[in-house]
Chain A
Amino acid sequence: MRLAILDHGHSAGTKVLFALIRIASRQPVLDVIKLAKYRPDFLRLQEITHEAMRGPSTWSIADRELMAAFVAKSNQCEWCTRAHSAVAARASQDRDRIAAVLSDLESAPIEDALRATLRMLGRLTREHSVTPDDMRALLASGVSREQIEDALAVCFAFNITARLANAFGFAMPTAAAFESGAKYLLARGYR
């Protein structure tokens, strides 16, 4: 990572935790965990991410993980795109569906409401704004206000995390390490 403190600046207790993670997962500690465990008193992102991704919502966990991957891709963050593609694929048991959305949203075999929501999230992330007309079209497509707010919560969390991953220069781990992380996130969430 571009800041040495994020690799080596953790407390002694956190370093012990990292050693245990390495033993239990048989994988290196992911950079996102190193970030989350470095001064968690300052960067309090885990609670908001957990609420957006695992809190009550009519969007499934697989849908929200797909939104996270899509927002990451819209930020050109390969690390977060791969990480949350792995979680979405595991949650949905449909790796092809996730790959299709990330390859070409408009032709992907998904429900119209999810497609319209992802389209809005992509525009918001790339262009930094959306218009009332965009929202009117989304509501007209059958997406409820609550669903839009839930999607925006996911977008908020991952518009922060993807920027941090890009800025700090997260090292790309193996696919096996992302799979291990995905298994953990589905079992335990983001807290």
Chain B
Amino acid sequence: MADIKRARMALVQWILEGPGHALATERGAAFANAGLAGPLASLVDKVAKCSYKITDEDIAGAKAAGRSEDQLFELIVCAATGQAARQYDTALAALDAAADQE
């Protein structure tokens, strides 16, 4: 079986706790899609829920709110990974619940 648990833990730990241009607290907020405000909150929410709707204006708005490109790179990576991780965890929990009832 493909074992992604260790690689997944390393991926998540690194983007949240490793060195970066964005504050760790802001990276954590992007990962959780919670606790941000303004254009950054809007961008992060789109990354999580409807990334196909993101436009040049979304990026420009987040830059105008004072974020550098490297900070936005990190925050978008955190937002994408956070939502994918929640989906993955939800699915594994559903699988466990289904197996328990067998």
Is the CB–CB distance between A167 and B54 below 8 Å?
yes
Produce 1/0 per residue, B71-95, CB < 8 A to A: 0111011011101111110111011
Docked complex Cα distance between A145 and B47 (Å)? 30
Question: Chain B's nearest CB lies how many Å from the CB of A41?
Answer: 8
| Residue A174, interface by CB 8 Å | no
A189 smallest CB distance to B (angstroms):
12
Main SS class of interface, B: helix
Residues of A within 8 A of B91 (CB): 120, 124, 129-130, 135, 152, 155
Let me know if B88 and A163 touch, CB within 8 A.
Answer: no
In the assembled complex, which residues on chain A have CB atoms less than 8 Å from the CB atom of B2? 51-52, 55-57, 149-150, 153
Q: How far is the CA of A76 from the CA of B51 in the complex (A)?
A: 8
Residue contact A148 to B95, C-beta cutoff 8 Å: yes
Q: How far is the CA of A136 from the CA of B79 in the complex (A)?
A: 30
B101–A3 CB distance below 8 A: no
> Which B residues lie within 8 Å of A38 (CB)?
73
> Would you call A129 and B87 a contact (CB within 8 A)?
yes
Chain A residue nearest to B59 (CB atoms) is A2
Where chain A touches its partner, the secondary structure class is: helix
CA distance A133 to B81 in the complex (A): 26
B6–chain A nearest beta-carbon distance, Å:
9
Query: Which residues of B come within 8 Å of A, CB atoms?
Result: 1-4, 7-8, 10-11, 14-15, 18, 20, 46-49, 51-52, 54, 56, 59, 69-70, 72-74, 76-77, 79-81, 83-88, 90-92, 94-95, 97-99, 101-102
A sample of 30 inter-chain contacts (CB < 8 A) reads A3-B72, A5-B69, A38-B73, A42-B74, A47-B10, A47-B11, A48-B11, A51-B7, A120-B91, A124-B87, A128-B83, A129-B90, A129-B91, A132-B95, A132-B98, A135-B94, A139-B102, A145-B99, A149-B2, A149-B92, A152-B95, A153-B2, A155-B91, A156-B8, A157-B84, A159-B83, A163-B48, A163-B80, A163-B83, A166-B54
